[in-house]
A = this chain, B = another copy of it.
Amino acid sequence: MSRPRSQERRSAIISAATRVIAARGLAAPTATIAKEAGVSNGSLFVYFETKSKLLNELYLELKADMGAAALDRLPSDADIRNQLHHVWTNWLRWATSFPEKRRALAQLSVSEDLTAETHQLSADGMAGLAEILRRARADGPMADEPLGFVLQLVTALAESTIDAVLREPANLDSHSRAGFGAMWRVLASADVAVINV
Residues of chain A having any CB pair with chain B under 8 Å: 2, 25, 27, 40, 42, 106-107, 110, 112, 141-142, 145-146, 149, 152-153, 155-157, 159-161, 163-164, 171, 174-175, 178-179, 181-182, 185-186, 189-197
Contact = CB atoms under 8 A, between A and B. Distances in A.
A152 B181 contact: no
Contact of A197 (B110, B112, B181, B194): B194
A179 B153 contact: yes
Contacts of A42: 2
Contacts of A197: 191, 194-195
Contacts of A194: 190-191, 193-194, 197
A142 B107 contact: no
B156 A160 contact: yes
Top 6 closest A-B pairs, CB basis?
A: A191-B193, A190-B193, A156-B156, A190-B190, A156-B160, A185-B185
A149 B170 CA distance: 14
Query: What number of copies of this chain does the assembly contain?
Result: 4
Contacts of A153: 157, 160-161, 179, 182
A164 B152 contact: yes
Nearest to A165: B149
**Most chain B Cβ neighbours within 10 Å, of A149, A159, A194:** A149
A192 B195 CA distance: 13
A106 B111 CA distance: 11
Contact of A190 (B27, B145, B156, B185): B185
27 contacts: A27-B27, A106-B110, A107-B110, A141-B178, A141-B181, A141-B182, A142-B182, A146-B171, A152-B160, A152-B163, A153-B160, A153-B179, A153-B182, A156-B159, A156-B160, A157-B157, A185-B186, A189-B189, A189-B190, A190-B190, A190-B191, A191-B192, A191-B194, A191-B196, A193-B194, A194-B194, A195-B197
